[in-house]
Structure 1
Amino acid sequence: MQTEKNEKMADSRDMIGAHDAMRREFGALPALIAGVPAGDARATGFVADHTLMMIDFLHAHHTSEDDHVWPRLRERCPDAVESLITTMDQQHAAIDDELKALAAVGRRWRDSADASDREAVAAVAERLLPGLYEHLALEEEQILPLIDRHLTQREWKATVEASLGKVRFSQRLLMLGMALHGADEEQARLLRAAVPAVVWHVGRPIGTRLHRAHRERLASASRDRAL
């Protein structure tokens, strides 16, 4: 489908790769956190910082949708999306509340390396998952087709770039490595099309190495090895 200006329409399937990374990383958090030995300040600090980084990633992802996707869909297909985006907004708000709680207990645990704080972080991380999974699935089922129908590829790439721009450059590379981890050939192709060319050609090998090293450090910090 083309716009009146003959612009190519969005292909938002790359979001599934980002969602898969979020599902994998957040799904691993409760056991990862619970596996950190009490009193081990170094291991606690690394896993707590990883948790806070994942919170930042998800927050950047959601606020970019709030700023760039919902307004365009409301403008271009209001009858089709109003109730759906109301649901998206409510889910974002509920998830954001859980992320704030997770960040608060995560910072406290990072400072204390205490077993009770560790268990509190693991509990909030577990509590987050059902709402997050429900939201990601609904977005893939109902929002992505609307994005592909009503946003151009240029607008979609601007949304992806806005999300990347909310995190530090080194974390962008790690995020790319995270998204590529376990991605099949099709998902890798979609990610390549979504990110700026320089990020792909320069950042992909660096991001892959950063993510591999990051995973190894997480595994050494926690008794849980299922990473």
Structure 2
Amino acid sequence: MSNDTNETMADSRDMVGAHDAMRREFSALPALIAGVRVRDTHGTGVVARHVLMMVDFLHAHHTSEDDHVWPRLRERCPDDVEPLIETMDQQHAFIDDELTALAAGARRWQESAVAGDRDAAVVVAERLLAPLHEHLALEEERILPLIDRHMTAGEWKATVEASLNKVPFAQRLLMLGMALHGADEEQAGLLRAAVPAVVWHVGRPLGTRFYRTHRERLASASQGSYR
């Protein structure tokens, strides 16, 4: 898309903040799961629910790209993007299968709290990391520049809102706190521009507090490193 109508074009750098949160949280999962004591039903429940929340978070992120980003890029820059989006689709499908397996494993473990189910969930969480990191890096390197050239700021904001709307409101606040955790001033500013004003002004203090409490709860539930 050219900017002949003087529309403001997208600035998709805020996606890096979401990706950083995903990298941090998914990378922590294997040790976090493994660190829960056998038959500790409370700790198992706390960590298993966190796993399921992260699965939902990543699924919402990917389906919003499927619905709002790929069709526009295919229409507006097909020569640049078609083989790349085919790769993105393949990566999404593979990661989605792994997320389905991880969610099923987390639910089994949550019900049993036994070592075998816990360790099986660890295996899937570890197996997911390499393809997820590869996908996020490729998206940042190749897709974000195309978004900024071919989508408007309004279209990009609608994509972000569509992703947020796929999760319950309380979880949206937690996700905002998660993305802000460790974010520098520039990244925080990008996140502020990406979300609705009411979400930012209400959600930033609440989300920061919710996420801090969430991290403390996870650290208490598991002997794995999550500090």
Q: Tell me which interval the TM-score lies in, with the shorter structure as reference length.
A: over 0.9
Provide the C-alpha distance between the structure 2 equivalents of 1:73 and 1:92, rounded to a whole number of angstroms.
16
* 2:160 paired residue number: 160
Structure 1 residue 198 corresponds to structure 2 residue 182: no
1:39 to partner: Cα distance: 0.1
Q: Which runs of 5+ in 1 are unaligned?
A: none
Tell me the percent identity: 77
* Residues 62 and 92, structure 2, Cα contact 8 Å, conserved in 1: yes
* 1:102 paired residue number: 102
Provide the C-alpha distance between the structure 2 equivalents of 1:158 and 1:101, rounded to a whole number of angstroms.
30
Pairing 1:1-227 to 2, within 5 Å after superposition: 3-227=3-227
The C-alpha deviation readout for 1:124-182, integer Å capped at 9, x for no partner, is 00000000000000000000000000000000000000000000000000000000000
Paired residues in the alignment total 227
Q: CA RMSD in A?
A: 0.9
Q: TM-score, normalised by structure 1?
A: 0.99
* Residues 44 and 110, structure 2, Cα contact 8 Å, conserved in 1: yes
What amino acid is the match of 2:26?
F
Q: Which runs of 5+ in 2 are unaligned?
A: none
1:226 to partner: Cα distance: 3.6
Provide the C-alpha distance between the structure 2 equivalents of 1:19 and 1:226, rounded to a whole number of angstroms.
18
Provide the C-alpha distance between the structure 2 equivalents of 1:206 and 1:99, rounded to a whole number of angstroms.
28
What amino acid is the match of 1:46?
V
What amino acid is the match of 1:25?
E
1:224 to partner: Cα distance: 1.4
1:193 to partner: Cα distance: 0.3
Q: TM-score, normalised by structure 2?
A: 0.99
* Residues 28 and 225, structure 2, Cα contact 8 Å, conserved in 1: no
The C-alpha deviation readout for 1:76-126, integer Å capped at 9, x for no partner, is 000100000000000000000000000111100000001110000011000
Provide the C-alpha distance between the structure 1 equivalents of 2:14 and 2:2, rounded to a whole number of angstroms.
20
1:5 to partner: Cα distance: 2.1
